[in-house]
Amino acid sequence: MTTAKRAAWLLCIGLLLTFLTGCTAQSTGYETVQDYIESPMMQELLAFETQHPKEDTGFIKTVSAEGNTLIYTFTFEEPLDLSDPDAQARVEAYLTDRCKEATADYAAIHEELYSIVPVDGIVIRLAYRNADGSVIYEHEYQ
């Protein structure tokens, strides 16, 4: 299962649980995406996802939020040598292509988020980091 599909599945579970508890988008009480991601329900789901990954991707994935920005951080488990500008350009091109291919998946996540946190300006940010934490590439969906 791709990272985008896993992310969509995680948000689907959150949406399903929200509706099963009798909440609608207008009554969830979440004023920001950060409120939603930091809710006990989502923290429990995120902890489960972290403890039970569906596949080995070579990344350590974390999910967080700042205000109305949902942030998926993918940190390579093994360091990439990007000292060669050509190597760095190839990695960035690859990640750019993958982000373009995942646009529909993240649009669906955006729509689901909006149904739970009905505010304008929701952003989904993908942050790819090297094993040392340095930024390799970032992409935003709005």
Going from N- to C-terminal start, the domains of the chain cover: 3-141
| CATH code that applies to domain 3-141 | 3.30.300
For 59, the token pair is: 């990344």
Helices 85-101 and 103-116 cross at an angle (nearest 10°) of 60
Q: Could you identify the residue written with the tokens 């360091």?
A: 79
* pTM for the structure as a whole: 0.78
> Which pLDDT band holds residue 72 (cuts at 50, 70, 90)?
very high
Residue 57 predicted with pLDDT over 80: no
Question: Nearest CA to 52 among 112, 114, 9, 105?
Answer: 9
69 vs 115: CA distance, rounded Å? 15
> Which pLDDT band holds residue 21 (cuts at 50, 70, 90)?
very low
pLDDT at 12: 54
Tell me the pLDDT tens digit for each residue of 73-124: 999 999 999 999 999 999 999 999 999 999 999 999 999 999 999 999 999 9
pLDDT at 27: 58
> Which pLDDT band holds residue 2 (cuts at 50, 70, 90)?
low
Residue 13 predicted with pLDDT over 80: no
Question: Nearest CA to 105 among 67, 60, 65, 72?
Answer: 72
User: Residues 3, 63: contact at Cβ < 8 Å?
Assistant: no
